[in-house]
Amino acid sequence: MIRVHHLETSRSLRILWLLEELGLPYEVRRYARNPKTMFAPAELRAIHPLGKAPLIEHDGRVIAESGAITEYLIELADGRLGAPANRDAALRYRHFLHYAEGSMMPPLLTLLVLQRMGLLGRPALGTVKGMIDTHLDWLETELAARPWFAGDDFTAADTMMSFPIEACRARAGLDGRRPHLIDWLERCHARPAYARAVEAGKAA
């Protein structure tokens, strides 16, 4: 059984979603953020020294980092929802699997910090927002060319991309001016496995 250490409003929802898509059995341990700092609770450090989520435990292993967890789960599922057979689609799959955290999340985290700084952060907001707009403009063109990030079929690259795109919609201006991104997000939300993952995160 796979145990998921799930922190509210965090990247770990996409791990629950991937597990539901793959049909792998799992259980959830849910953690609440500190209401003042919004940091993860100290109990997570007992599982992994960094005290971050998501974390999974399986066969005596503790695995951290969303991308590494995703690759581990795809291997458990014999490659389902992993890299497509087509070479170009496989390269896109690997790109977006790592792009989600490596390129997309740093400016989004910077934006979050600046927004919480109030007046002190305001001078830099325009620069960071411009960086995010560049990402969103490019992603819009990518999804204009195909329905999912890797190609014609839904893959784990889409589950990985869900968190930064959700964050852009919540606080970085993603709206109907980029219809392909909005359509992709709505199709993700409409998947039965996504709805089950949301409920599993709430009920844990």
pLDDT in tens, 113-122: 999 999 999 9
pTM (2 d.p.): 0.93
Residue 26: strand, helix, or coil: strand
How far are the Cα atoms of 42, 79, 83, 94, 156 from residue 87, in angstroms, in the given order? 43, 15, 9, 11, 16
Domains belonging to the chain, first-starting first, are 2-81+192-203 (3.40.30.10), 87-189 (1.20.1050.10)
Q: What is the Cα–Cα distance from 190 to 175, expressed in whole angstroms?
A: 18
- Residue 204 pLDDT > 60, yes or no? no
Comparing 45 with 81, the larger pLDDT belongs to 81
The rounded percent of the chain whose pLDDT value lies above 90 is 83
Comparing 10 with 100, the larger pLDDT belongs to 100
- Residue 10 pLDDT > 70, yes or no? yes
**What counts of helices (H) and strands (E) characterise the chain?**
8, 4
pLDDT digits (tens, 9 = 90+) for 170-199: 999 999 999 999 999 999 999 999 999 999
Q: Which residues contact 15 (CB under 8 A, 6 or more apart)?
A: 4, 6, 54, 56, 66, 69, 70, 73
Q: What mean pLDDT comes out for the span 159-169?
A: 97
- Residue 39 pLDDT > 80, yes or no? no
The whole-chain average pLDDT of the chain stands at 93
The pair phi, psi for residue 23, each rounded to 5°, is 70, 25
Q: What pLDDT, on the 0 to 100 scale, is given for residue 33?
A: 78
Residue 164 in tokens? 């930064």
pLDDT band at 38 (very low <50, low <70, confident <90, very high): low
Q: What is the Cα–Cα distance from 107 to 80, expressed in whole angstroms?
A: 31
Residue 131: strand, helix, or coil: helix
Q: What mean pLDDT comes out for the span 70-93?
A: 98
- Tally the C-alpha atoms within 13 A of residue 87's C-alpha that lie toward its C-beta: 0
